[in-house]
Chains A and B, each alone.
Chain A
């Protein structure tokens, strides 16, 4: 979103009014900074510190620093790697599928269709639903006896409890949930593509496919990079949706890293170890994102 928002205002920032900003600027920032420090940075630092302790749930437990012991345990924890693998499959496939589906939808909604306004509103509806509601709704869709899906196909499949189907079934829901914001952002990007460019390539005799490949995609590039990276972060940290749908089952087949961390902390009471998990996932997300953005930036040049 920011990439888009900045464009029209880009010039104003470099304007002539450079008042006495060094002192007052900070003071103006302070009211906004305090909540960030108290509610964001504080817990974050606490969480990171916790990752280096053996903190456990309990009334009279003693907590001591254990250095990197938790991280060592993490590296040799088969359950963690399994959960990590599932998280990666989930994060990547949801993001990619979401992007492809949303791009198609955005292109469609960008056409001069009848009832375009209605269609656009409908496309955004899932956005208005909290993940828990989405989860409950899809649980009904997937219900083995009374579900819409089995009713439609006349099949007798227990989608969310089948060992091999559960993850794909959950991924479909993830794609569905995340589509609105991706679509809206891509649609906004599409509308920002200058018409002259299309006219120019049409004059050169380009068909729809070439127009898409040579004009639309390159023009959309910054938007695509921004939304896919945001989506990836969002998806890999997804919790509530899967928690409602499967609670990580069957047999851990949909146990995303965040669910795993939650279980460690609130079910088994290993707070320190759960914090380590959180830190590890943050590092992984940063690394993946860093690589991706770095490559995109290089190619963009």
Chain B
């Protein structure tokens, strides 16, 4: 009998403990910044380059000293797992107040209602400092019938060419300028000229080919998606095929591009580039940072402006700051964003990440227009950035990872033909997109 009651007592305690821990927390620290206590904001930053992290932390520290009533906590995130981190914290209802991400990610979060619509809430000064083309990259459907602005765009990336100056001079090719860039035809010729025994004219790192191809496809007006009556379908016509075909030709017809670079990520060809194995590496402007830092002494490199097809237009996405819909202090969060992204601060951030600022005042900063490290060419390329058409496509992420990435990788590895690629992109792609229109 004694044993029975003892056992029951243990069980009761365990039960009580179990229940207690279940529903205990919750309403505790939700009180807003009344009674003189400062408002606390959490700012999830994805800065990863050393200079950039420093710039971010510095701006946050400046803000915290100037605004004792609104204290911002810097939270370090990572591009590698930001999606998982955000999905779980959104679903749990406890997201960071201010969220650093990029515009392709915003579209799906916006349509699920996780982000605050900033329409009419952005201070006029900030709004007018950023051109409409950049605002377009953060304007999405709200998942019902309306449109909203779901972030403030601040850093943009364009695709440029980074070239070995000695090899260019040695081959006697014309060095392009932002006013008269290389056309794709000229680029093909140059690459052939630069290809010698054991050295290739160009290395296309195509580990993640989709964004690269889609952004460049706009050179020839290729949009890859077609929206009619609210229904989006994939299209691969002659305009979309141009860039795909040209890169493929360099790899297998001209043999001026190294096929073994295909599996590489953007920065992986650099050792070969420094060793003179590749004369030109197409890359985002941010890669200049790694080139400048890692280049052996005496290595001369130049940044060449984007290529020209019918136009020099490229699809652009932006890095963004957004406010969580579940944030308890949205107004304070916006005030912080307006400060964080003002002209001088954007110039600092752009320098730290070697990217292009959206702010027009920041773009005039002398540090961003100097010849050194190709800043003049990089900053000039911003004028041709237009909103990437795929940004507005619901389900693009799944299309990209399930259909487009493997199909393009196989195409560039010469395992399937261009027709087959087009077929797969369209047919399998439309099936994927259908899931999202239900």
Interface flags for B74-118 (1: CB within 8 Å of A; 0: not) read 000000000110011011000000000000000010011110000
> Is B374 on the interface with A (CB-CB < 8 A)?
no
Residue of A nearest to B88 (CB): A266
Main SS at interface, chain A: loop
Contacts of A61 in B (CB 8 A): 112
CB proximity of A33 to chain B, nearest CB, Å? 9
Contacts of B407 in A (CB 8 A): 251
The CA-CA distance from A152 to B296 in the complex, in Å, is 27
| Contact A269–B112 (Cβ < 8 Å) | yes
Q: Of residues B268, B401, B435, which shows the largest number of chain A Cβ atoms within 10 Å of its Cβ?
A: B401
CB proximity of B240 to chain A, nearest CB, Å? 20
Total count of chain B residues near the partner, CB < 8 A: 42
Residue of B nearest to A253 (CB): B406
Interface flags for A131-153 (1: CB within 8 Å of B; 0: not) read 00000000000001100000000
> Is A206 on the interface with B (CB-CB < 8 A)?
no
CB proximity of B7 to chain A, nearest CB, Å? 4
> Is B129 on the interface with A (CB-CB < 8 A)?
no
| Contact A250–B409 (Cβ < 8 Å) | yes
| Contact B14–A30 (Cβ < 8 Å) | yes
> Is A28 on the interface with B (CB-CB < 8 A)?
yes
Contacts of B57 in A (CB 8 A): none
Contacts of B88 in A (CB 8 A): 266
Residue of B nearest to A273 (CB): B435
CB proximity of A255 to chain B, nearest CB, Å? 9
Residue of A nearest to B87 (CB): A266
The CA-CA distance from A270 to B112 in the complex, in Å, is 12
> Is B37 on the interface with A (CB-CB < 8 A)?
no
Contacts of B11 in A (CB 8 A): 27, 30-31, 34
The CA-CA distance from A58 to B436 in the complex, in Å, is 13
Contacts of B271 in A (CB 8 A): 145
> Is B330 on the interface with A (CB-CB < 8 A)?
no
Interface flags for A257-277 (1: CB within 8 Å of B; 0: not) read 000000100111110000000
With A27-B11, A163-B410 in contact, is A58–B268 under 8 Å at CB?
A: no
| Contact B409–A251 (Cβ < 8 Å) | yes
| Contact A162–B405 (Cβ < 8 Å) | no
- Which residues of chain A from 6 to 42 have a CB within 8 Å of any chain B CB? 23-24, 27-28, 30-31, 34-35, 38
Interface flags for B420-438 (1: CB within 8 Å of A; 0: not) read 0000000000000001000
The CA-CA distance from A191 to B114 in the complex, in Å, is 59
> Is B197 on the interface with A (CB-CB < 8 A)?
no
> Is B189 on the interface with A (CB-CB < 8 A)?
no
> Is A195 on the interface with B (CB-CB < 8 A)?
no
Candidates A35, A57, A60; contact of B87 at CB < 8 Å: A57
> Is A161 on the interface with B (CB-CB < 8 A)?
yes
| Contact A161–B91 (Cβ < 8 Å) | no
| Contact B406–A252 (Cβ < 8 Å) | yes
CB proximity of A162 to chain B, nearest CB, Å? 7
Total count of chain A residues near the partner, CB < 8 A: 33
The number of inter-chain residue pairs (CB within 8 angstroms) is: 87
| Contact B4–A24 (Cβ < 8 Å) | yes
The CA-CA distance from A163 to B262 in the complex, in Å, is 12
With A24-B3, A28-B7, A59-B325 in contact, is A267–B83 under 8 Å at CB?
A: yes
| Contact A58–B143 (Cβ < 8 Å) | yes
Candidates B15, B83, B268, B402; contact of A266 at CB < 8 Å: B83
The CA-CA distance from A60 to B142 in the complex, in Å, is 11
> Is B8 on the interface with A (CB-CB < 8 A)?
yes
CB proximity of A72 to chain B, nearest CB, Å? 14
- Which residues of chain B from 1 to 54 have a CB within 8 Å of any chain A CB? 3-4, 7-8, 10-11, 14-15, 18, 22
| Contact B260–A59 (Cβ < 8 Å) | no
The CA-CA distance from A238 to B398 in the complex, in Å, is 23
Contacts of B406 in A (CB 8 A): 250-252
> Is B384 on the interface with A (CB-CB < 8 A)?
no
| Contact B14–A34 (Cβ < 8 Å) | yes
Residue of A nearest to B13 (CB): A31
CB proximity of A263 to chain B, nearest CB, Å? 8
CB proximity of B87 to chain A, nearest CB, Å? 5
The CA-CA distance from A61 to B271 in the complex, in Å, is 49
With A58-B113, A59-B325 in contact, is A27–B4 under 8 Å at CB?
A: yes
With A30-B14, A34-B15, A38-B18 in contact, is A59–B409 under 8 Å at CB?
A: no
> Is B148 on the interface with A (CB-CB < 8 A)?
no
Contacts of A56 in B (CB 8 A): 112
CB proximity of B290 to chain A, nearest CB, Å? 15
> Is B165 on the interface with A (CB-CB < 8 A)?
no
The CA-CA distance from A30 to B87 in the complex, in Å, is 36
| Contact A24–B7 (Cβ < 8 Å) | yes
Interface flags for A149-175 (1: CB within 8 Å of B; 0: not) read 000000010100111000000000000
Contacts of A27 in B (CB 8 A): 4, 7-8, 11
| Contact B18–A34 (Cβ < 8 Å) | yes
> Is B413 on the interface with A (CB-CB < 8 A)?
yes
CB proximity of B332 to chain A, nearest CB, Å? 21
The CA-CA distance from A58 to B114 in the complex, in Å, is 7
Contacts of B136 in A (CB 8 A): none
Give A residues with C-beta under 8 Å from B. Answer: 23-24, 27-28, 30-31, 34-35, 38, 56-61, 79, 144-145, 156, 158, 161-163, 249-252, 263, 266-270
Q: List 19 A-B contacts (CB under 8 A).
A: A27-B8, A31-B11, A57-B87, A57-B91, A58-B113, A58-B143, A59-B113, A59-B114, A61-B112, A144-B268, A145-B271, A163-B409, A163-B410, A251-B406, A251-B410, A252-B406, A267-B83, A267-B398, A268-B395
Other contacts beyond A31-B14, A158-B263: 11, CB < 8 A? A56-B112, A59-B112, A59-B113, A163-B409, A249-B405, A250-B263, A252-B406, A266-B87, A267-B401, A269-B108, A269-B112
- Please provide the 4 A-B residue pairs with the shortest distance between their CB atoms, ordered closest to farther: A251-B406, A59-B113, A58-B112, A30-B11
